[in-house]
Chain A
Amino acid sequence: GAGVSQTPSNKVTEKGKYVELRCDPISGHTALYWYRQSLGQGPEFLIYFQGTGAADDSGLPNDRFFAVRPEGSVSTLKIQRTERGDSAVYLCASSLLAGDNSPLHFGNGTRLTVT
């Protein structure tokens, strides 16, 4: 079946610009997560949605980062006034149930490069 889909796969932007990264989770998965992975590091948690609401956004580094999931399916991660330090791979994951420890299924990520 179809996995988690992320678009675009690559995004190059200039410092100070606004970007949107999209995630299509596995159909029927109620929980959706965003992680960020820098080179040579493991993924770092950003935000978790249960349905349409952000259940935990404690990993967002600052108020330039915002994410939405208006209909409980597709999610968009929005980054304002991008900085070179935002360059990383942004991973989206989904899981069947929220509130338990069912495994996360990851997409292949969006590689963001801020020049």
Chain B
Amino acid sequence: EDQVTQSPEALRLQEGESSSLNCSYTVSGLRGLFWYRQDPGKGPEFLFTLYSAGEEKEKERLKATLTKKESFLHITAPKPEDSATYLCAVQGSGSARQLTFGSGTQLTVLP
């Protein structure tokens, strides 16, 4: 059974204070690891897909990295508009098109 654990559950940063969110996973044959952003009352918004260990993807102030056991979402010099819940999900080879999500990290960036 695929499992995803995200930490911390909540994170408060001052504007400009860089940090990282963690996503630890166990999966049978990783087909993809996905990061999503979710704002209150909205559906998850796709950010990145990572396919293999060592891969990195960047978008504005966000950079996602992947190892064989975990992924990190690095946030550089965050702004208040980066405040959201960040969700990590995995797709394993044995689960067809199912994504298994973690519970998310709720990020608050204070001005």
Contact = CB atoms under 8 A, between A and B. Distances in A.
Interface of A: 4, 31, 33, 40-45, 48, 55-56, 58-59, 91, 93, 95, 98-99, 101, 103-109
B102 to A, nearest CB: 5
Given A4-B43, A103-B34, A45 B99 contact: yes
Contact of B96 (A42, A56, A106): A56
A45 to B, nearest CB: 4
A48 B97 CA distance: 7
Could you say which of A40, A43, A59, A105 has the most chain B C-beta atoms within 10 Å of its C-beta? A43
B103 A99 contact: no
B18 interface: no
A86 B63 CA distance: 36
Given A40-B103, A108-B41, A101 B87 contact: no
Interface string B1-34: 0001000000000000000000000000001101
Nearest to B46: A103
Nearest to A111: B41
A103 B87 CA distance: 13
Interface string B58-85: 0000000000000000000000000000
Nearest to B106: A40
B97 A42 contact: no
Given A103-B49, A105-B46, A43 B101 contact: yes
Contacts of A56: 96-98
Contact of A48 (B98, B102, B103): B98
Contacts of A106: 36, 43-45
B103 A42 contact: yes
Contacts of A40: 103
A84 B46 CA distance: 31
Contacts of B34: 103-104
A43 B4 CA distance: 12
Contacts of B87: 42-43
Contacts of A95: 97
B98 A59 contact: yes
